């Protein structure tokens, strides 16, 4: 059995649920209180994958647009990343796509997943299904999640952990 340490960066626009997703995944909790991340918050989760163990170091990066260049600096040494968009705010997908383009410009071999969060808010859902289909057609892993209900969260991080090997 091999234990590997992997740095994973969480990236997306402000308020998409990056911190809530990490909290749901690491602590199995959810809070409706919105607290904006300042700088970076690092959490850890040990994930068994087959015969190996991955110590995932989850870097939750602040979402302010004016600090986008700082976020990309945090990618240094990363093994992968999670892009997060809010299914009730389609413009956040464009932010995620811009971040992915910049991240791929630094290292296109880094594995990533795109999470469209807040799937529990079906009445407010306004994500363009055709656009999401295009991304899947390009080979992207695009998953719908809900930090509130936990729907899809474990699966999303497990998918990325498997690809980090």
Residue 98: how many other CB atoms lie within 10 Å: 15
Q: Does the structure show a pLDDT above 50 at 120?
A: yes
Whose tokens are 């959490």? That residue is 43
Helix axes 153-164, 18-27, angle to 10 degrees: 80
Query: According to the model, what pLDDT value does residue 73 have?
Result: 75
CATH architecture of 2-164: 3-Layer(aba) Sandwich (3.40)
Per-residue confidence (pLDDT) for residue 43, from 0 to 100: 94
Which residue bears the tokens 């809530």?
20
Instruction: Kindly report, residue by residue over 62-116, the tens digit of the pLDDT.
Output: 765 554 555 567 788 999 999 999 999 999 999 999 889 988 888 889 999 999 9
- For the chain, the structural domain boundaries read 2-164
Helix (H) or strand (E) holding 36: none
Q: What are the C-alpha distances in Å from 56 to residues 8, 41, 91?
A: 7, 13, 29
Whole-structure pTM over 0.85, yes or no? yes
Which CA distances in Å does 104 have to 100, 107, 111, 147? 6, 5, 10, 26
* For residue 37, pLDDT beyond 60: no
Give 131-149 pLDDT, tens digit per residue: 999 999 999 999 999 999 9
d(CA 162, CA 51): 11
């Amino acid at each position: 059995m091999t234990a590997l340490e992997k740095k994973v960066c969480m990236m997306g626009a402000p308020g998409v649920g990056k911190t809530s997703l990490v909290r749901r995944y690491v602590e199995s909790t959810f809070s409706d209180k919105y607290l904006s991340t300042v700088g970076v918050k690092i959490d850890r989760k040990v994930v068994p994958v087959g015969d190996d163990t991955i110590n995932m170091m989850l870097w939750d990066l602040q979402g302010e647009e004016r600090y986008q260049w700082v976020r990309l600096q945090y990618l240094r040494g990363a093994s992968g990343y999670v892009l997060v968009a809010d299914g009730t705010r389609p413009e956040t997908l464009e932010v995620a796509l811009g971040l992915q383009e910049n991240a791929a410009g630094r290292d296109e071999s880094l594995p990533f997943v795109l999470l469209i969060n807040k799937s529990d808010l079906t009445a407010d859902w306004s994500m363009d299904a055709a656009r999401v289909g295009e991304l899947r057609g390009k080979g992207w892993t695009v998953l719908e999640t809900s930090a509130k209900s936990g729907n899809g969260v474990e699966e999303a991080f497990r998918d990325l952990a498997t690809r980090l090997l």
